[in-house]
Amino acid sequence: DTQMTQSPSSLSASVGDRVTITCRASQSINTYLNWYHQQPGKAPKLLIYATSTLQRGVPSRFSGRPSGTDFTLTISSLQPEDFGVYYCQQSHTAPWTFGQGTRVDIK
């Protein structure tokens, strides 16, 4: 299975801050990397697919890009509704696998 490793595991940031989360795959996944946001008690929500394509309706403050062998999710200006856990997921080779999650708290 392809192992996905996220960093950091958690972070605390202020409204308006720029936040970056990194995801690394244990083997090549091309650009088949997706990002989700999950708020407490809710289902995950797809933010970005295929590394950098914004899902319809997702605010433009979210962006994704490759970074060498890693992938990054950036929130350009953190908003209060952005708290929760962010997961990366590879859809290159089944079984699909997720990162362990990055918890984002609002200071």
Partner 1 sequence: QVQLQESGPGLVKPSETLSLTCTVSGDSITGYHWSWVRQPPGGGLEWIGYIYYNGVTNYNPSLKSRLTISVDLSKNQFSLKLGSVTAADTADYYCARDRRGANYFYGMDVWGQGTTVTVSS
Query: Considering only residues 11, 13, 46, 106, which one is a binding residue for partner 1 as defined by CB under 8 A?
Result: 46
Binding segment for partner 1 among 14-22, 48-56, 65-73, 76-84 (CB under 8 A)? Answer: 48-56
Q: What span, in angstroms and rounded, lies between the C-alpha atoms of 107 and 87?
A: 21
> Could you say whether residue 62 binds partner 1 (CB under 8 A)?
no
Token code pair at residue 27: 């083997």
Q: What span, in angstroms and rounded, lies between the C-alpha atoms of 32 and 76?
A: 23
**Range 38-57 burial, b when 16+ CB lie within 10 A, else e:** eeeeeebeebbbebbebeee
Query: Considering only residues 49, 62, 71, 86, which one is a binding residue for partner 1 as defined by CB under 8 A?
Result: 49
State the residues that interact with partner 1 by CB under 8 A.
1, 30, 32, 34, 36, 42-46, 49-50, 53, 55, 87, 89, 91-92, 94-101
